[in-house]
Amino acid sequence: MADPRNRLNDLDAKRWLQFQKSWFVHNPPPRAEQVLLHPAKFPETLVQEFVEFFTKPGQRVLDPMCGTGSLLVACAQCGRSAVGVELLPKYAQIARQRAEAAYAGREGIGWELYQADARRLSRLPIGQVDYCLTSPPYWDMLNRRGFETQRRRAQAGLDVAYSDHPADLGNEADYRRFLAQLVAIYRQVGALLRPGGYLTIVVKNVKKGGRMYPLAWDLGRRVGRYLELKDERIWCQDNQRLAPYGYLHTWVSNTFHHYCLNFRRQG
């Protein structure tokens, strides 16, 4: 039973304590055929856990890069209103269809979807939100050739990269420009958050050309100039296949974890 003094969510003490663990294992269920097209779909099961911790029923949740609408579906399932922004028409259309089905017959909550560039977030009539959960492109890594998963997706006729759209941040080859544009988006998100509201960014560091780029740590430091970085949770996946990167030559890890960076707007 939830404590009536709980101002953040409606969880009981046991579920609150479980969420406080700094790492967790989450292996998403198989992806539905409708969303297989997207090369980096966010699992609704993971989204729902975070939404239920950082909000109460009926509150509004934002994803400025919503893809095929995982956040919209998860919010419908746990009784929250959702706002999604997606640049690419093909993914926005899938997200719209999924949201219509997920919210059908649910009273007191609703959803909004804007096909727009997240870099123009402040120009959209979104209004104040209670929470934001989002995951950015992992730089231009999907454009790198030679990965086994890419070959399998290409053979199946599925998207290997997001798009060739010039505004797609997944096509930005310069790391500094990519990082600066992400930070600018999250600064706009911060302006939409209610005082005391949280932003969760699910991200990982990336490796390219024999070098590691600390994307998660860079975002933690730079977004932390505008929103207070409260903590992190580390999402581990233990059902991925190992690959012999650097075998007999050098040490290269198989990266099966993501950082869930939790920021808060003070006030």
**Ranges 96-100, 148-152, 164-168, 179-183: which has the least confidence:** 148-152
pLDDT one-digit tens code per residue, 158-176: 444 555 778 888 888 899 9
pLDDT of amino acid 162: 55
Q: Is the pLDDT of residue 142 over 90?
A: no
Question: How many residues make up the chain in this entry?
Answer: 267
**Dihedral of the CA atoms 220, 223, 224, 227 (nearest 10)?**
-130
> Could you say which DSSP state residue 36 is in?
T
pLDDT one-digit tens code per residue, 118-141: 999 999 999 999 999 999 988 877
**Dihedral of the CA atoms 156, 161, 164, 170 (nearest 10)?**
170
Go through the domains of the chain in sequence order and give each one's CATH number. 32-264 (3.40.50.150)
pLDDT one-digit tens code per residue, 145-158: 655 455 553 454 44
Q: At what angle do helices 70-77 and 89-103 cross, to 10 degrees?
A: 10
pLDDT of amino acid 93: 95
Q: Which residue, 93, 92, 102, is CA-closest to 63?
A: 92
Q: Is the pLDDT of residue 98 over 80?
A: yes
Helix (H) or strand (E) holding 113: strand 111-115
Which residues does residue 82 pair with via DSSP β-bridges, in sequence order? Answer: 61, 111
CA-to-CA separations, 182 to 82, 213, 228, in angstroms, rounded:
21, 15, 17
pLDDT of amino acid 36: 45
Q: At what angle do helices 215-223 and 175-192 cross, to 10 degrees?
A: 40
pLDDT one-digit tens code per residue, 196-239: 999 999 999 998 888 899 999 999 999 999 999 999 999 999 88
pLDDT one-digit tens code per residue, 7-45: 999 999 999 999 999 999 998 877 555 544 444 567 899
pLDDT of amino acid 41: 60
Reduced to 3 states (helix: H, G, I; strand: E, B; else coil), residue 78 is coil
pLDDT of amino acid 3: 80
pLDDT of amino acid 153: 38
Contact predicate 85/169, CB 8 Å: no
Query: What average pLDDT does the segment 4-8 reach?
Result: 90
